[in-house]
Amino acid sequence: MAEQIADRRDIEFVLFDQLKADELCEVEKFRDFNKRTFTMLINEARKFAIKEILPTYQQGDREGVRFENGKVMIPECYRRPFNLLREAEFTSMAEAPEHGGQGLPETIATAVAEYLVGTNFALATYSFLGHGTGKMIELFGTKKQKQIYLKKLYTAEWSGTMLLTEPNAGSDVGLLETSAKRNDDGTFTLTGNKIFITSGDHDLTENIIHPVLARIQGAPKGTKGVSLFIVPKYWVNEDGSIGEENDIVCTGIEEKMGIHGSATCSMALGSKGKCRGMILGEENKGMKAMFHMMNEARLGVGLQSFAHASNAYLYALNYARQRVQGRALEDALDHGAPSVAIINHPDVRRMLLEMKSHVEGMRSFTYYTANCFDKAVTSKTKEQRDKNKMLSELLTPVLKTYNSQRGFDMCVKAIQVYGGAGYTKDYPIEQLARDCKIASIYEGTDGIQAMDLLARKLGMNKGLVFLNFINEAMAAVTKAKEFEPLKKIAYRTEQLIQKLADSAMHIGRTAMSAKFKIAFAHSVPFLEAMGDTIMAWMLLWRASIASEKLGNNAPKKELAFLEGQIKSADFFINNITPITMGRIDSIMASGDAAITIDDDSF
């Protein structure tokens, strides 16, 4: 039977052969788990996703979200899988059991989520957004707030959102106009408008808890005066029971290119002067809490977008094996020769291998980053914990942006494999491309992520964090050189890593000079080059593991999979990284046309 959503064997390869995720069971935090339980959870998620979620994908897209008489109407087909997701305790897999989670490592939770999120992201938004809200309350809330909200949010009994964007401010959060006035009872009255709020309103849960960024009257201008508030759809009483409806309402929904089953709402706070909220964390420190949620969300976006690509690749692969059209190239002049499946045509094979290598590389990149989160908590020494924490911070903007870009590219590539059929709604490929495009826009656009990488992350700890990343990648090169068939691509990867390091020094110096605008004009290409380099590292690492297994008389049933790992690395490093080298050349050249062109010349 053809694989669906994700390659189950590849997931296992990344988790247990590449990352040794089962070794996490040796630490106190995860000692109640073992490899068998990890495998069982992933298998259950796979079965659940295929049986319960997958049938809602196209149906939910076609039905969409409706806004009628002030009410948000979600696709009816979402209700059953949403309730089953809650019952199966899939909504907060990495959180502590006492708070309603399963206590899993982030690495394993990410693998489970690949199936649950990758099958229907629009549905997943209702199920998992409350987790981010809960995490902020866990980290910054009072004891009472944790007691009231945590378990209900982590178990999706209540859902959550993120009220950040405003019509006039957009990504420049410091310009927000939503205000908060102190009340005598310690609460605040909020007034303002927010837009593009995912899952801003619906009736899947009995309450929706909104984290809202607002400025307390008299607070400083800019981000330094922004505070974070808990604003429930229905007021929550001191005993945790639900009270009267709060003055926060949806005023409309967006008609979007994709994720039609996800309610993207415009929200009005205090139109009747009765919107109440509670401060979360310290006054004027709201951005600190919100950025924690956004960084976690960026890992989720990296997962979402590569999962779309994985879906698209498997659909395209299955179609290419079944679709018979055209004669084999060697029989092109023989009009009596039979037609063959299109997987036999060289250009189709090229597209499939390009998709395969990208999907596998992005899976390793995503799981590796999640694994850094785990090691930042579980490593034996403070030095190791700090190293992994800072490495995850360096990689997060690259993961979010690179996977978003390449995930969409691979969905488009899948349409090309289908040809005209892929452009129709008869197949799910066109929907995957539409749904995936949002990933490069929300939680900070490509340019914002690249600015974060250049302005904040490259110089962390005086550049030692970036140097640690370079050393990690070089270690994979050293290992690959032990295998004769990999030496050529190992040397190519070594050259790429060194060239990336040189370009990092160059763009960093430029950013601190009078030509800083030129540096930021090249920041996205630099991030893309770093992403390609990470992919080469991940794929070469995979190829080394596969080569070692092949050299140790791997079982016959494993040969095709293991040889496929080597071919993925070979293709990416020989066909994609030369383009990356050219991109780095352009960064080093520091062309200034984008900065010096006159506005009227556009």
Which residues are catalytic, by number? Answer: 443
Q: Which residues of 567-602 are buried (b: 16+ CB within 10 A; e: fewer)?
A: ebbbbbbeebbeebeebbeebeeeeeeeeeeeeeee
Can you list the positions of beta strands (E) in 217-302? 226-232, 234-236, 242-245, 248-253, 264-269, 276-279
Taking the alpha carbons of 426, 428, 433, 437 in that order, is the dihedral positive or negative?
positive
CB atoms within 10 A of CB 9: 12
Residue 297's identity, in one-letter code, is A
Alpha helices in 120-276 (DSSP H): 121-140, 143-154
Tell me the chain's radius of gyration from C-alpha atoms: 25
Q: Please answer whether residues 161 and 122 qualify as being in contact, where contact means their C-beta atoms are separated by less than 8 angstroms.
A: no
Residue 395's identity, in one-letter code, is L
Report the C-alpha dihedral over residues 99, 101, 102, 103, rounded to 10 degrees: -60
3-state secondary structure of 282: coil
Here the tokens at position 519 are: 């540096």
The CA distances from residue 402 to 152, 305, 349, 506, in Å, are: 34, 9, 24, 21
Alpha helices in 332-480 (DSSP H): 346-378, 382-418, 429-437, 446-452, 464-480
Taking the alpha carbons of 341, 344, 349, 353 in that order, is the dihedral positive or negative?
positive
3-state secondary structure of 34: coil
Report the C-alpha dihedral over residues 114, 118, 120, 122, rounded to 10 degrees: 90
CA angle 486/487/492 to nearest 5° reads: 100
